[in-house]
Amino acid sequence: MSAISDINTMEGTAVILDEIVRQAYQCLECGRCTGSCPMVELFPNDFHPHHLLSDLTKDPEKVLKGYELWFCASCYKCNKRCPQALEYPYFIMQLRGLALAKNGVVPLRKAFSRIRTIIPFPVSFLSVCIHPERINLDPSIIDKMHRDHLSQKKKDKFPESGPKIAVVGSGPAGLMGAYELRKMGYRVSIFESQTNPGGMFSRAIPEYRLPLQIVLDEIENLQESGIEIRPNTTLGKDITLDQLLIQDFKAVLLASGAHSCKALGITGEDFEGVYTTLEFLEELKIKKKVINAKTVVVIGGGNTAMDAASAAMKYGAKEAFLLYRRTREEMPADMNEIREAEKNGVQIRYLEAPVGIHGVKSKFNQLECIKMELGEPDLTGRRRPVPVEGSNFILEADLLVIAIGEKPQIESFPEKIATGKDSTILVNPHSMETSIPGVFAAGDNVLGPATVPDAIIGARRAATGIDNYIKTS
């Protein structure tokens, strides 16, 4: 695909559109995209991924005018499963660029007016999921939507008498679950270990993508429907699950995310200047750290690693290297994220892995690496990296970010809760109930690091599950 085609020229536009239409013809209409898509579950009457492709083959201009284009949340699940390997979210991103240039923001506004009927933090959602920065969407337009949304506050008050439900965690899953339950008339308390509510929204997602103020405004707005948030309260430390159940909470929704960063297991990880992804992103977002003229090395190949490396560049790094131990083909990060990181000047180095963290007086200054080559594929089909003996080399840098994945932090939860691979909580796929009756879970703690729309649909299912549970018990 001609990514180089210039979107600002007439010919460039036509080339991009032609290419997308050409690819749209290849759709087999197998439906795997639709079945995978969390946005279809949320907006079944507005959005249908492969029908949009079929529409493109019939009348591309009409698609550019339509509001359907604005629902994809770029979660990449469809791309991962499409038998034709069509990169749907990339098409969408390009089409949105074309649509904005041609038809302005009216279709987006129409989509937004639908989104805000379902998602109670619509601007945070849009900011994170449609990536306005990638399609030259003027921040003032997002701002305007934010102001409009706040000023059109819902007046409806929900009953104050329903049973009480505890929600643990105030990320997108917790907020969505709380809101849905509140709409059903339950009294909801959210327990949040941080000072700021919002989960990844307020902790990790870089400020240039999502301003903290927007998140806090939207949560405040949401609280007015009668949701209580108890900040600085950690389940397992300040309060236990049993205590919640003994108190008059009739059910619990665990929406605690995946915050435990995996470690490399080499010496020096505790040196000054060495961060986990979340620590690093939090420094940038909350402590407004600037990394003037420093060299940053990020280790990892996932979306979070890309975001951390991009953010480093955005906030003043001289250069940012991203080390990945396999090749681009095996890299788990979504293509859009990789393109974005490269656009931001991140230098991705493949087939390299860290073996030692060196420093002076426990202050990091050198990363010792080794070159890798690909061996036999493992059971999941990805080829295993094997170190090339004697290929060690040194990378001089000021900051090191270890971004090799996160998993749910469940150490403080009761042991009897059943978990699966990588500490994810096992749930009933319909009701989201865990192995403990009355305790439900949704979001990253069930899926492992996933996406905002997946957190939202999980939470919505859980709310229904809780409602059924309470009505039947």
Partner 1 sequence: MIEQENGELRIGVYVCHCGLNIAGSVDCEAVTEFARGLDDVVEASDNKYTCSDPGQDIIKNDIREHKLNRVVVASCTPRLHEPTFRKACEDAGLNPYLFEMANIRDQCSWVHLYDREGATAKAKDLVKMAVARARLLTPQYETEVPVTRKTLVVGGGVAGIQAALDLADQDYKVTLVEKEPSIGGKMAQIDKTFPTMDCSICILAPKMSEAGRHPNITLLTNSEVKEVSGYIGNFQIKVLKKARFVDEKECTACGDCADVCPVSMPNEFDVGLATRKAIYTPFAQAVPSAYIINMDDCLGDVPIACGKCVEKCEKNAINFDMPDELLELDVGTIIVATGIDVYDPTEMTEYGYRRYENVITSLEFERLINAGGPSGGHLIRPSDRQVPKTVGFIQCVGSRNEKKGNPYCSNVCCMNTIKDSLLIMEHWPDTKIKIFYLDIRAFGKGFEDLYKRSKSSGVMYIRGLPAEIKEDPRTKNLVIVSENTNTGKVEEHEVDMAILSVGLIPTKDSDVIQRLFTLSKTSDGFFMESHPKLKPVDAPTQGVFFAGCAEGPKDIKDSVTQASAAASRAGILMKAGKIKVEAITAVVNEDICNACGLCARVCPYNAIEVDTKNKIPAHVIEAACAGCGTCGAECRHEAITMRHFTDEQLLAQVDAVTEVDADKKIVAFCCNWCSYAGADFAGVSRMQYPPEVRIIRSMCSGRISEELVLHAFRRGAAAVLVAGCHLNDCHYIDANYQTKKRVEKLWKKLEKMGIDKDRLQLAWISAAEGEKFANQIKLMKGIIDKVSAREIKKTVEVLAV
Ligand X SMILES: Cc1cc2nc3c(=O)[nH]c(=O)nc-3n(C[C@H](O)[C@H](O)[C@H](O)COP(=O)(O)OP(=O)(O)OC[C@H]3O[C@@H](n4cnc5c(N)ncnc54)[C@H](O)[C@@H]3O)c2cc1C
- Name the residues that contact ligand SF4, by CB under 6 A: 27-33, 36-37, 39, 49-50, 53, 72-78, 82-84, 86, 88-89
Total of chain residues touching partner 1, rule CB under 8 A: 34
Minimum CB separation from ligand X for residue 300, in Å?
11
Closer CB to ligand SF4, residue 33 or residue 119? 33
Closer CB to partner 1, residue 130 or residue 436? 436
Closer CB to ligand X, residue 103 or residue 240? 240
Closer CB to partner 1, residue 323 or residue 436? 436
Which of ligand X, partner 1, ligand SF4, none binds 236 (CB below 5-8 Å, type-dependent)?
Answer: ligand X
Q: Are 272 and 300 in contact (CB under 8 A)?
A: no
Which of ligand X, ligand SF4, partner 1, none binds 259 (CB below 5-8 Å, type-dependent)?
Answer: ligand X
Closer CB to partner 1, residue 53 or residue 123? 53
Residue 446 contacts partner 1 per CB under 8 A: no
Which of ligand SF4, ligand X, partner 1, none binds 76 (CB below 5-8 Å, type-dependent)?
Answer: ligand SF4
Site residues for ligand X, 161-200, by CB under 6 A, read 168-174, 191-194, 199-200
Among 178, 175, 193, CA closest to 251: 178
Residue 348 contacts ligand X per CB under 6 A: no
Total of chain residues touching ligand X, rule CB under 6 A: 38
Site residues for partner 1, 366-385, by CB under 8 A, read 379-382
Which of ligand X, ligand SF4, partner 1, none binds 190 (CB below 5-8 Å, type-dependent)?
Answer: none
Which of partner 1, ligand X, ligand SF4, none binds 193 (CB below 5-8 Å, type-dependent)?
Answer: ligand X
Minimum CB separation from ligand SF4 for residue 418, in Å?
28
Closer CB to ligand X, residue 387 or residue 449? 449
Which of partner 1, ligand SF4, ligand X, none binds 390 (CB below 5-8 Å, type-dependent)?
Answer: none
Site residues for ligand X, 269-328, by CB under 6 A, read 281, 304, 307
Which of ligand X, ligand SF4, partner 1, none binds 88 (CB below 5-8 Å, type-dependent)?
Answer: ligand SF4
CB burial of 123-160 (b: ≥16 within 10 Å; e: otherwise) equals bbbbbbbbbbbbbebeeebbeebbeebeeeeeeeebee
Closer CB to partner 1, residue 31 or residue 104? 31
The backbone region for 415, taken as left when phi is positive above 0, alpha when psi lies in -120 to 50, beta otherwise, is alpha
Minimum CB separation from ligand SF4 for residue 367, in Å?
34
Closer CB to ligand X, residue 73 or residue 100? 73
Residue 435 contacts partner 1 per CB under 8 A: yes
- Cα-based distances in Å from 127 to 41, 99, 201, 209, 234: 20, 18, 10, 6, 28
Instruction: Count the Cβ atoms, other than its own, within 10 Å of residue 263.
Output: 11
Which of ligand SF4, ligand X, partner 1, none binds 452 (CB below 5-8 Å, type-dependent)?
Answer: ligand X
Residue 354 contacts ligand X per CB under 6 A: no
Please report, as ranges, the residues that interact with ligand X according to CB under 6 A. Answer: 73, 75, 128-129, 168-174, 191-194, 199-200, 204-205, 234-236, 255-257, 259, 281, 304, 307, 409, 412, 443-444, 450-453, 455
